[in-house]
Structure 1
Amino acid sequence: MGLHLRQWMVVMVAPAVLAACSSTPTEEGNVGVSDRDVAASAVASGSPSEALLAEIKNPAHPAHQRSIYFDFDRYEIKPEYQSLVVAHAQLMQKYPTVKVLIQGNADERGSREYNLALGQKRAEAVKQALSALGVAAERIEAVSLGEEKPVCTERNESCYAQNRRADILYEGEF
């Protein structure tokens, strides 16, 4: 029941988060370049995938961050990452043909088999959250890398925390 309640909460928060994603005036009072402007210029020069990649490469874009981090031995999406999932769902709705690959990861503690299973559960949790926000499940592939793709190799809690994640990759990146 907790997962369904959490999905419901994400869906209820989505409109407020999406409203906050519009462009804002700069210090000079001019409106900055919007995501729509970036997307339009990229579409004019290439495919929707290129437009999407141009948007997510912009550090100011809400979906620029593509890693969702998890607590030790857990696969529930933490509240601080729910708005990030909403931003990715919004982006996928804007580009209805683009697909994503979600790579679930684990730290090195635990057996190889256990870490592969945990990584898969993390990737599936993100997939389910995106689906609950209206993204077609067939556009999302969830895979586990287990402990095979660490971003940090030191043996301490700070490093382990960086490896407990799910990474969202867009078509054109995989």
Structure 2
Amino acid sequence: MNEGPANACTIEKAQPEHLKDIVALLNAGATSVRRDKEFATWQDYRPAFEALCSAPEAAIYVALDPERHVVGTYQIHFLKGLAYQGRPRVELESVHVRADQQGTGVGRQMVAHAEQLAREAGACLLQLTSNREREGSHHFYRRLGFDQSHLGYKKMLM
């Protein structure tokens, strides 16, 4: 699926050949809570990648530049619940853009893509969390129309 101007990225479901670049993006963007908890070898992520790709309620996408290099990634999860008459909620997670591509519209394009998928699924909302250390990301999400509506908590189990 192509979005935006002719020089924009192509966004498509991630394939096994993208995994090494996806892991590099995840690790480059690790905040303090994840630093030193990730594996050094990208192959260690293969089982989780395969599980995510085969799950009907989730997917991982990549943004590819015109030369088909991975310049961004995000994960999307469709959550079931009773609220909103059972309409799904969509969780956007692990949105990462390669450092040299930040500010070029790649992130905006990926979020628009995720929103389109959420709307097509009849979702009642698109939600995400962002580490409090990522102040630049918070401004980005607010500019895209997200409201900071909740206070989140996590309990690390590893």
TM-score with structure 1 length normalisation? 0.29
Query: Which of the pair is proportionally richer in helix?
Result: 1
Higher relative contact order (CA 8 A, sep 6+): 1
Which is strand-richer, 1 or 2?
2
Greater Rg, structure 1 or structure 2?
1
